[in-house]
Amino acid sequence: MKNISLNFFGEKVTINMPTTLASLRKEISDKFLFNPSDAAEVIISYVKDLGKKIIQTEQDFSNFIKNKIGKIDLDIDQNSRLYQENFNSLKKETEENKKNLEACLKENEELKKKKEEMLLEETKKINELEMKIQKLMKRKKKIEKKMKIEQKTIEKKQKENSKKIQILRKKLNLDTPNPEKKTSPTKKKLLKKGNIPMQVKIIQSKPREVHPFVSCDGCKMNPIVGKRFKCINKPNVDFCERCFMNKKKTQGLKFEHYDTEKVIKEIISETSSNSNKEGKVIHRMTSCEGCGMCPIVGERYKCTICPNFDYCGDCKQLFGNIHGHAMVEMKSNYN
Taking only the tens place, the pLDDT of each residue in 215-233 is 898 898 888 888 889 898 8
Q: Is the pLDDT of residue 171 over 60?
A: yes
Beta-ladder partners of 55 = 44
> 204: pLDDT confidence band, cut at 50, 70 and 90?
very low
Name the DSSP letter for residue 61: H
Q: Is the pLDDT of residue 13 over 70?
A: yes
Do residues 232 and 255 touch, judged by C-beta distance below 8 A? Answer: yes
- Name residue 255's amino acid: F
pLDDT score recorded for residue 179? 46
Q: Is the pLDDT of residue 245 over 80?
A: yes
Q: Rounded CA gap, 246 and 258, in Å?
A: 18
Do residues 304 and 325 touch, judged by C-beta distance below 8 A? Answer: yes
Beta-carbon count within 10 A of 268 CB? 15
pLDDT-above-70 percentage for the chain: 81
Q: Is the pLDDT of residue 175 over 60?
A: no
Do residues 242 and 250 touch, judged by C-beta distance below 8 A? Answer: no
Instruction: Report phi then psi at 239, rounded to 5.
Output: -125, 145
SS3 category, 296: strand
Q: Is the pLDDT of residue 182 over 50?
A: no
Picking from 21-35, 66-80, 89-103, 167-181, which range would have the lowest pLDDT averaged per residue?
Answer: 167-181
* Mean pLDDT of all residues in 91-100: 82
Q: Is the pLDDT of residue 127 over 90?
A: yes
* Mean pLDDT of all residues in 286-290: 89
Tell whether domain 3-77 is in CATH 3.10.20.90. yes
Picking from 93-97, 169-173, 244-248, which range would have the lowest pLDDT averaged per residue?
Answer: 169-173
Fold equal for 3-77 and 277-329: no
* Mean pLDDT of all residues in 6-32: 86
- Domain spanning 277-329, CATH class: alpha beta
For the chain, domain boundaries: 3-77, 83-172, 197-271, 277-329
SS3 category, 304: coil
pLDDT score recorded for residue 206? 55
- Name residue 265's amino acid: K
Q: Rounded CA gap, 158 and 153, in Å?
A: 9
pTM, to two decimals? 0.28
Q: Is the pLDDT of residue 55 over 60?
A: yes
pLDDT score recorded for residue 250? 79
